[in-house]
Structures are given as structure tokens and as C-alpha cells.
Amino acid sequence: MTKLTATINGRQERLDIEPLETLMDALRNRLHLTGTKEGCREGECGACTVLVDCKPVNACLFAASAVEGRRVETIEGLNDAPAKRLQDAIVAAGGVQCGYCTPGFVVMIIALLRRHPAPDEALIREALSGNICRCTGYAQIVDAVLAVAKANNGQQS
Ligand code: FES
Ligand code: FES
């Protein structure tokens, strides 16, 4: 076991991890942050997306030891007004069915909206190209982000 210290959702955490443990397993099994979903474990589905120093990563491929001293945000920590607006928009657009993919999408979209508050459809689809949803067909999720982008655009003008 080795010691890991990192800021997780704004809280300083100290935990014991195995040398090769993934960030996904550390979050889910040691901190019980199970909103980070386990899908493929191969970096293909995006269900495990979290932010490390504001950048989205696949937590199933990211070594837990690599977040030493860094800032991690999971779906549980994304509860400010912009994140709530996005989640409401996804629900309103019918972008949640089984919901398994939803946390990964929300985390990825928040990262996008922080960089581009009013992204166009091409930017949204590019940002979400690593996230798989087997239920919705994606259009509803894209519509939700476009609705948020439109609202953000209105606020800027
Ligand atoms: S579980 Fe990490 S990308 Fe699928
Ligand atoms: S809502 Fe079921 S996988 Fe996306």
C-alpha cells in the first residue's frame, strides 16, 4: 500500500492505495464515490469520466497515484448552479434513460462548458465523441447542451 493525498471534490483526502490501483477503483471502493461508473474499464465508454485539475480523464485508465497533490472532481462534486442547470436540461430533453452513462456525460459536458460557455453542435459532438450511450441516440443529450449554450449566450449578450 502507498499513501495518496489529493483534493477530491474540494476536500483534502488521505488514503491508502495499491501501487497499480486505478483512480476509478480508488474513488468507488475507498471513497464510495460510486457516481463514477464502471463501464468498459478500457477507456472506450466514458462512463468513468472525472476531472483532474479541470481536465477530463478516463478514471479507469488513470493511475490513482498520478493524482497526488492534484484536484479531482467527480459527479458528486459538481453541484453548483451551472451543473444543476445542465442536469435539469438533460432531464427535460429526455437525455436520461437507464442513466448509467449520465454522470460521465455530465462531467464531460461541464468541462466543455467551462472552456466554451456557448458551444455549437459540432463542438458538442466532438467533446462527447468518447462517451457512449446505448439508450438515447445522443440527440437528446446534444439538444440539452444546445439549450444550455443558448441560455449562456443570452446571458453574455
Ligand atoms: S469504464 Fe472507463 S472508459 Fe469505460
Ligand atoms: S441513458 Fe442508458 S446508456 Fe445512456
The residue ranges of every structural domain in the chain are: 2-74, 81-156
CB distance 132 to 46 below 8 Å: yes
Rg (the chain; Cα; Å): 16
* pLDDT of amino acid 154: 81
pLDDT tens by residue, 107-152? 999 999 999 999 999 999 999 999 999 999 999 999 999 999 999 9
For residue 139, CA distances in Å to 2, 39, 41, 128 come to 44, 21, 25, 11
* pLDDT of amino acid 46: 98
CATH fourth-level superfamily of 81-156: [2Fe-2S]-binding domain (1.10.150.120)
pLDDT tens by residue, 8-44? 999 999 999 999 999 999 999 999 999 999 999 999 9
The CB of 77 under 6 Å from ligand 1? The reply is no
Mean pLDDT of 75-96: 96
CA 42 to centroid of ligand 1, rounded, Å: 6
* pLDDT of amino acid 55: 98
CATH topology match: 2-74 vs 81-156: no
CB distance 27 to 36 below 8 Å: yes
Per DSSP, the residues of 120-146 read -HHHHHHHTTT---SSS-SHHHHHHHH
What topology does CATH give the domain 2-74?
A: Ubiquitin-like (UB roll) (3.10.20)
* pLDDT of amino acid 157: 54
pTM of the model: 0.96
Q: How far apart are CA 53 and CA 36, in angstroms?
A: 17
The CB of 100 under 6 Å from ligand 2? The reply is yes
The CB of 106 under 6 Å from ligand 2? The reply is no
The CB of 133 under 6 Å from ligand 2? The reply is yes
Mean pLDDT of 88-104: 97
Q: How far apart are CA 149 and CA 145, in angstroms?
A: 6
pLDDT band at 155 (very low <50, low <70, confident <90, very high): confident
pLDDT over 90 at 91, yes or no: yes
